[in-house]
């Protein structure tokens, strides 16, 4: 392979949550309106920007965490993380109505009726009342080692902001306790697979596989996630592609953040899986794993099709090292399983697979399920966050063209002939008008067999209750043009 030049990322400029993720056991999301633009700008310049966590700091902290784990120490620094983003309305408050127009999806916004219709999202009337507002201008992300630390620093920050902003809503996300740490509320290990980034992610074998981070982690051109760098080539997954267009030079080192507050109906999900597994005559843990494409431990079905291999789930050199191409009849992992829908790997052409990647940086919210909670009593779920340079080609494409599209992946055939309609992503797929969904091949025909089964899902286990699109500017943009 021809030697490629490694892009030099400006780590001091890019906000820390975008590429690496702020270190967070707890994270406070403060959604606000700008009440007094002139005073807000002065405060941002003089107080906030100097406290924003950049990628260099996030990287140093990550290395410390890694080192202390390697030495068997559980504790790491009590670090405060702070990031800041603006919606289209926020940018207008800061720059005036004749400001440059950014990505069309960003300018439309997550709460626009066209976005809601395109993504099959629930109508605004069904969103959480506390997060509904005529306008949200920005979000402050405050991250740290525990909720009280984060609350304390969040309050100090709010006090400092005073009347320059008006808080619309704030909500705390937190990592689940004990052994469930790192697992989301359905119980599955999350945060395993992320795209690697050229110029940032270290290849495990730099000489032999310079375009692979950990096994199974392709290194992508950073322009997919941050403005100002080459992106993926649309026809060749290794070749440098054009840098995404910027509506203004100050977009350099910035990124779009998609936020979605997704409530999870955990007791209902568990009850459904138990019932359906008994109908199908299979282990409920296997049925749940077939809905996700991984076992709760994180072990991929492609490597552990019938029984969990927990040792593989937690091992980062093994848990992402797989493809779907040699599972052409969905015997190991259904075509519709969450991870197969959202990153189809070699189910599609190599360059196409890398056109729709996102970096995820979400955190769970809400309490643990109480022992007597057979129907959801307490709200819980995922504060889903992802970063990209095109909301339309990345997040929206995955949701619309893959998760919500029962015919994706297309062109798959039954072993005996005939086309397969894989069905909806059982976790995040949404049918129009909140309609019923189905998933093909709930029961595994592995290693052989020809039993046809369909999983009918009359209701969603994941419900969207708030959403917004933000731009996360570079530190320079925050210090100059925007303020
Ligand atoms: Fe998903 N979950 O925690 O159960 N997700 N996700 N997700 N998701 C993944 O591989 C989950 C959501 C992606 O590279 C895993 O890191 C839940 C949305 C992508 O192979 C698990 C919700 C979107 C990947 C979950 C939710 C995505 C991924 C396996 C909602 C974008 C990486 C762990 C409540 C539209 C796939 C891992 C890859 C993985 C869960 C939402 C996308 C367990 C509960 C809205 C790209």
Read off the pLDDT of residues 122-166 as tens digits, 9 standing for 90 and up. Answer: 999 999 998 888 899 999 999 999 999 999 999 999 999 999 999
Is 398 a pocket residue for ligand 1 (Cβ < 6 Å)?
yes
Higher pLDDT, 426 or 314: 426
Residues annotated as catalytic (active site), given as ranges = 190
Per-residue pLDDT reduced to its tens digit, 318-351: 999 999 999 999 999 999 999 999 999 999 999 9
* Among 320, 339, 354, 366, residue to substitute to test ligand 1 (most atoms within 8 Å of Cβ): 339
Q: How confident is the model at residue 1 (pLDDT cuts 50, 70, 90)?
A: very low
Residue 474, pLDDT > 50, answer yes
- At 4 the pLDDT is 61
User: Is the CB–ligand 1 distance for residue 338 below 6 Å?
Assistant: yes
Looking up tokens 């979400």 gives 362
- Pick the atom of ligand 1 nearest to 293's CA: 29
pLDDT at 75 over 80: no
Dump pLDDT digits (tens) for 342-356: 999 999 999 999 999
Which phi and psi (to 5°) does residue 69 adopt? -65, -40
Contacts 24+ apart (CB under 8 A), 57-66: 57/16, 58/16, 58/17, 58/19, 58/20, 58/21, 58/22, 58/23, 59/11, 59/20, 59/200, 61/23, 62/20, 62/23, 65/23
Which residue CA neighbors atom 39 of ligand 1 most closely?
A: 339
Per-chain mean pLDDT for the chain: 96
Render pLDDT for 353-379 as a digit per residue (tens, 0 to 9): 999 999 999 999 999 999 999 999 999
Q: What pLDDT digit, counting tens, does each position of 187-225 carry?
A: 999 999 999 999 999 999 999 999 999 999 999 999 999
- Residue of the nearest CA to atom 35 in ligand 1? 399
Please work out whether the CB of residue 399 comes within 6 Å of at least one atom of ligand 1: yes
Q: How many CA atoms lie less than 13 Å away from 227 in the CB half-sphere?
A: 23
Whether the predicted model's global pTM rises above the 0.85 cut: yes
């Amino acid at each position: 392979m021809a030697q490629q030049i490694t892009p030099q990322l400006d780590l001091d400029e890019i906000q820390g949550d975008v590429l690496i993720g702020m270190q967070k056991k707890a994270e406070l999301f403060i959604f606000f309106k700008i009440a007094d633009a002139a005073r807000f700008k002065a405060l941002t310049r003089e107080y906030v920007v100097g406290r924003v966590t950049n990628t260099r700091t996030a990287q140093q902290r990550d290395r410390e965490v890694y080192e202390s784990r390697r030495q068997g120490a559980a504790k790491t620094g009590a670090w405060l993380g702070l990031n800041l983003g603006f919606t289209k309305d926020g940018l207008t408050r800061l720059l005036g109505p004749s400001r440059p127009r950014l990505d069309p999806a960003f300018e439309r916004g997550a709460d626009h009726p066209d976005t809601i219709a395109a993504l099959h999202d629930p109508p605004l009337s069904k969103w959480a009342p506390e997060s509904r507002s005529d306008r949200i201008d920005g979000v402050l992300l405050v991250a740290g080692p525990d909720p009280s630390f984060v609350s304390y620093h969040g309050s100090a920050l709010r006090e400092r902001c005073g009347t320059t902003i008006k808080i619309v809503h704030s909500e705390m996300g937190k990592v689940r306790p004990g052994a469930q740490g790192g697992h989301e509320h359905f119980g599955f290990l999350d945060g395993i697979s992320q795209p690697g980034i050229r110029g940032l992610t270290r290849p495990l074998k730099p000489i032999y596989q310079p375009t692979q981070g950990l096994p199974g982690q392709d290194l992508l051109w950073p322009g997919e996630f941050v403005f100002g760098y080459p992106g993926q080539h649309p026809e060749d997954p290794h070749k440098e592609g054009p840098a995404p267009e910027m509506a203004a030079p100050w977009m350099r080192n910035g990124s779009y953040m998609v936020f979605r507050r997704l409530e999870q109906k955990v007791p209902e999900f568990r009850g459904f899986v138990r019932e359906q597994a008994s109908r199908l005559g299979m282990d409920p843990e296997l049925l749940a794993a077939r809905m996700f494409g991984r076992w709760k431990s994180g072990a991929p079905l492609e490597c552990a099709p019938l029984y969990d291999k927990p040792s593989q789930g937690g091992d980062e050199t093994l848990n992402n090292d797989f493809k779907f191409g040699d599972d052409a009849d969905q015997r190991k992992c259904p075509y519709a399983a969450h991870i197969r829908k959202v990153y189809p790997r070699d189910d599609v052409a190599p360059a196409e697979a890398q056109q729709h990647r996102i970096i995820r940086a979400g955190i769970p919210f809400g309490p643990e399920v109480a022992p007597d909670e057979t129907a959801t009593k307490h709200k819980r779920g995922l504060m889903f966050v992802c970063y990209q340079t095109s909301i339309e080609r990345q997040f929206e494409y995955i949701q619309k063209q893959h998760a919500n599209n029962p015919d994706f992946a297309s062109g798959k055939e039954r072993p005996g002939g005939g086309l397969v309609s894989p069905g909806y992503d059982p976790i995040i797929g949404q049918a129009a008008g909140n309609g019923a969904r189905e998933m093909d091949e709930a029961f595994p025909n592995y290693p052989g067999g020809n039993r046809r089964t369909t999983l009918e899902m009359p209701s969603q286990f994941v419900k969207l209750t708030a959403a917004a699109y933000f731009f996360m500017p570079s530190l320079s943009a925050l210090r100059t043009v925007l303020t």
